[in-house]
Amino acid sequence: MMSIKTNIALIGARGVGKSTIAKLTSQNLDRPLFCMDELIQYEAHGETIESIVTNGGWAKFREIELYVLEKLSKCNHSVIDCGGGVLVEAPVEPSLEETFSERKYQKLHACAKIIYLRRPLEDLVDLVALDAHRPQLCNDYKRLLSLRLPWYEKAADLSIDLLDKSPETLCQEIIDRLDLE
């Protein structure tokens, strides 16, 4: 049975503005909003993301993320604010790099129209450097982004550049460019 993609999933790097755009899109379309990071914390019994990563590593976080994504894949007509690593598998060993998650991509692709919110690499590095409230991803965030940005492009049904646009303009662009049911 083929499911109809009635959800909108916003993907992109940490700090790009997914939460702000997701909230506006949800309000403008009168659709429920699901924030994956909040749901991951809920599934971890209120543990913060930083605590999940510190105590169980990125592998534990990514498994909870998959569990949340599986639950969200059953929703309809919703807006999903995905974390920056939604398309990522944690490395099996600390010395290895993360990889593209085909299983998470397939879950997301089956239930949602995937919108990639895009900013230039240097802007993203600067934005994340200012945020002390999130766990550190790695010592070389620029290198990490160079891995992830092509994965976002690969997964996206639609890519939208954020440069010099207000959140309201971006929200309207998403609505105008999607064929919503």
What are the residues facing 116 on neighbouring strands?
A: 11, 159
Its pTM surpasses 0.85:
yes
pLDDT digits (tens, 9 = 90+) for 27-76: 999 999 999 999 999 999 999 998 999 999 889 999 999 999 999 999 99
Strand, helix or coil for residue 111: helix
> Is 5 a residue whose pLDDT tops 60?
yes
pLDDT of residue 1: 39
Q: Is the pLDDT of residue 102 over 50?
A: yes
* Domain with residues 7-177, CATH architecture: 3-Layer(aba) Sandwich (3.40)
Cα–Cα distance, 9 to 155 (Å, whole number): 11
